[in-house]
Amino acid sequence: MQHGKEETTSAVDPPEVVVLAGSRAHRPAATELAEDLAASAGATPWRIRLALPTPGQPCPDGLIVVGDPLDGAADPTLVAILEDFENASIPVVCLRSGGGGRFLDLDMPRSARVAAAMCLLESLRRSAVRFDESRRRGHRAVETLRRHEFELQEAASLQREFLPRHLPRGDRFDCSVLWRPSKHVSGDIYDVARLGRRHVGLFIADAVGHGVSAAILAMGLLRRLNLTTVDGTPMQPAEVLGHLNGALLQRSAGATWFATAAYALLDVETGRLQAASAGHPPIVVLRSNGTRERFGATGGLLGIFEGERYAEHDVALRDGDRVLLHTDGVETVLDDDGPEGYIEHLTSMASTRRAPALFADLISRIEASGGCAAGLDDVTLIDLGFGPIVSNEEAAASGGGVSRDVRDVGSPASGS
């Protein structure tokens, strides 16, 4: 009980002011000022105490120094005390004959001297309190940012767990993927899956928005992605997107959750490619003879209209053809060519580069433009080659190199 009483008393104690003499000659004036301040204590929120400069003495809430602490007669101990007090943001008022600069005039009338000293001390105290509070807010903000940074890094690691660890391999196709978030997490998502002996499914999606909310939506799409029927038969692209659209509308419950997406199903034996697109950027086919074909959206964005139906493109691939699926982040990287010209730029780059060199070129452009600091979007590009696969040695000799595993490149901010 006694301990609680002491805490209560301490909590309501007014701040303490210590009066110190700048030198031995100023002790009478310091004593006089301390007495005057104590006599007027009823009108001030301060407790007044007269003390001699003593090393290691407890820090008060304010300090009044009578005399110039910087003249030749100043007590060396006092100089050290002042330095400690200033480092601790304790308000200090100094009085000397004639005043001047940061000093009050010691020779002014006693009543005016008391009032001026206390007024200035109170002003200094309030400034110190504001400074300390700002410093505390700054520390809290830094800690919050550090915690936020750690949580984003954890979210980035979790999102990577949703992505394929390895891409499927085959004698008649190869596949490489560039996936680069603009920040820690990405609103882009993809999947490349072997579906039985003769089919491969290519899925890509871009959640509308940015940051964590878009990343959560993207991971939700991948979690609900269903590419086969119960008996393992590959589902048609239109059916895959229709199922995702319904699942998104059912889960959004009034929230504005939208996404673009595209899904392509390849028969690796016949080269038949069926594809559907939900408002997604065009699918591009690079023919081995140098011609290029692009296939646009076959239906609306996911999460907009209930019962949305998606048409399909049906394309016959020949040996040496390549298929590119990408998100609109590629457009932001190549936006110097405009909303339509970037496709021509991309296909021109891809026609002279295999996947590793193409990805490296895009990454260098991202980094040269400042990445997310320049407003660039998440970037995802799936590059599938069809036909007999050359060895890595043959590809290297021809200036390319076949990359059959995922190229998972994180943003500079994530440290990947």
For 273-289, what is each residue's pLDDT tens digit? 999 999 999 999 999 99
Q: Radius of gyration of the chain from Cα atoms?
A: 37
Going by C-beta distance under 8 Å and a sequence separation of 6 or more, which residues neighbour residue 7?
none
For 231-269, what is each residue's pLDDT tens digit? 889 999 999 999 999 988 886 555 668 899 999 999 999
If you search the block for the tokens 């993927």, which residue do you land on?
177
Going by C-beta distance under 8 Å and a sequence separation of 6 or more, which residues neighbour residue 338?
none
For 292-309, what is each residue's pLDDT tens digit? 999 999 999 998 888 999
Going by C-beta distance under 8 Å and a sequence separation of 6 or more, which residues neighbour residue 401?
354, 356, 357, 392, 395
* pLDDT for the residue 405: 41
| 54 vs 268, higher pLDDT | 268
Q: What is the maximum alpha-carbon separation in the chain?
A: 107
**Nearest CA to 303 among 251, 226, 377, 264?**
251
* pLDDT for the residue 200: 96
Do residues 22 and 66 make contact, with C-beta atoms less than 8 angstroms apart? yes
Three-class DSSP category at 399: coil
Q: Which of 100-114, 132-146, 238-252, 284-298 has the highest mean pLDDT?
A: 284-298
**Domains delineated in the chain:** 2-134 (3.40.50.2300), 164-414 (3.60.40.10)
The confidence band for 173, taking pLDDT boundaries of 50, 70 and 90, is: very high
- CB crowding 125-161: b at 16 or more within 10 Å, else e: beebeeeeeeeeeeeeeeeeeeeeeeebbebbeebbe
Going by C-beta distance under 8 Å and a sequence separation of 6 or more, which residues neighbour residue 290?
351
For 176-215, what is each residue's pLDDT tens digit? 999 888 877 788 889 999 999 999 999 999 988 777 778 7
Kindly write down the DSSP assignment for every residue of 287-316, as one continuous string. -TTS-EEEE--SBPPBTTSTT-----EEEE
